[in-house]
Amino acid sequence: MDDTKRFVIAYKGLKPGQYTFHFEVDGGLFAAYENSEIKDGHCRVEVVMTRLEQLLDLDIAIAGSVVVACDRCLEDCEIPIDYRGHLAVKFSDEVQEYDGEVLWLSPSEGEVDLTQYIYESIVLALPYQRVHPEGKCNPEMMARFRIVSGEEFAALEAEAEQQAPPEGEWAKLASLKERMEREELEAQEEALAEELTSEAEECEEALADGDEEKKL
pLDDT digit string (tens) for 133-150? 887 787 777 777 665 555
Q: What's the whole-number mean pLDDT along residues 170-192?
A: 68
The closest alpha carbon to 11, from 43, 60, 57, 46, belongs to: 57
Does the structure show a pLDDT above 70 at 64? Answer: yes
Cβ distance 119 to 3 under 8 Å? no
- Tell me which of 36 and 190 has the higher pLDDT: 36
pLDDT of residue 150: 56
Please give the pLDDT value at position 210.
Answer: 63
DSSP 147: P
pLDDT of residue 213: 60
Q: What is the mean pLDDT of the chain?
A: 81
Residue 38 has pLDDT above 80, yes or no: yes
Q: CATH number of the domain at 8-138, out of 3.90.180, 3.30.450, 2.60.120, 3.30.420?
A: 3.30.450
- Cα(216)–Cα(206) distance, rounded to whole angstroms? 16
Phi-psi region of 115 (alpha: psi -120 to 50; beta: other; left: phi over 0): alpha
pLDDT attached to residue 8: 93
Range 40-55 average pLDDT? 93
How far is it, in rounded angstroms, from Cα 12 to Cα 49? 13
42 pLDDT above the threshold of 80: yes
Confidence of residue 44 (pLDDT cuts 50, 70, 90): very high
* Residues with Cβ within 8 Å of residue 32, at least 6 apart in sequence: 3, 4
Q: Are 88 and 103 in contact (CB under 8 A)?
A: yes
